[in-house]
A and B are shown apart, each in its own frame.
Chain A
Amino acid sequence: GQNIDQPTEMTATEGAIVQINCTYQTSGFNGLFWYQQHAGEAPTFLSYNVLDGLEEKGRFSSFLSRSKGYSYLLLKELQMKDSASYLCAVRHDYKLSFGAGTTVTVRA
């Protein structure tokens, strides 16, 4: 089975940093994705980690520790438009298993 956990909600101030944690226990692992989803819209790709370590992409960074079954997404210099749901997804072969998502609210 697949068990992917992430916090339900987080709130932060514009310009601040927020870290969204994701822990997983899955039957297979071929990489971990982070997607952003605005209300009523499609999930859009943010990052992909398959090896341990930090991947940095502009204001967003993602970290993976396979031995700990742990990842985090770091959002820096928060902007109002970053208010959205952030989905952690583990890939096994072709299939993605998603967590329930973390709703991030950015306040002015």
Chain B
Amino acid sequence: GAGVSQTPSNKVTEKGKYVELRCDPISGHTALYWYRQSLGQGPEFLIYFQGTGAADDSGLPNDRFFAVRPEGSVSTLKIQRTERGDSAVYLCASSSHGTSGYNEQFFGPGTRLTVL
């Protein structure tokens, strides 16, 4: 079956611009996560959705970052007034439920964001 997909795979933008990154989770997965991975580092948690609501957005670095999941499936991560320090790979993951059981998270291929 289809895995987690993310678009675009690469995004180059200029400092100060607005970007949107899209994640399409595995069908039926209620839990969705966004992570950010800088070069040579492990993924860093940003936000967690259970259904349509953001259950935990404590990892978002500041108010320039915002994410939505209006219908409980596709999610969009939005970054306003991008800065060079935002350059990283943004990973999306989904799982069948959030807090109980095995709860393996399946990751998408990521969007590589470069802010010039």
- Residues of A at the B interface (CB closer than 8 Å) are 4, 33, 35, 41-45, 48, 87, 89, 91, 93-101
Contacts and interface: CB of A to CB of B under 8 A. Distances in A.
A42 B45 contact: no
Contacts, number: 54
A94 B103 contact: yes
Contact of B104 (A45, A93, A99): A45
Contacts of B85: none
Interface residues of B, number: 27
A97 B108 CA distance: 17
Interface in B64-116: 91, 95, 98-99, 102-110
30 contacts: A4-B42, A35-B107, A41-B109, A42-B4, A42-B91, A42-B107, A42-B108, A43-B43, A43-B107, A48-B102, A87-B42, A89-B42, A91-B103, A93-B98, A94-B33, A94-B95, A94-B98, A94-B103, A95-B45, A95-B48, A96-B33, A96-B35, A96-B43, A96-B105, A97-B45, A99-B42, A100-B40, A101-B40, A101-B41, A101-B42
B48 to A, nearest CB: 6
Interface SS of chain A: helix, strand, loop or mixed? strand
Contacts of A45: 104-106
B44 interface: yes
A44 B105 CA distance: 9
Interface of B: 4, 31, 33, 35, 40-45, 48, 50, 55-56, 91, 95, 98-99, 102-110
Contacts of A4: 42
Nearest to B3: A42
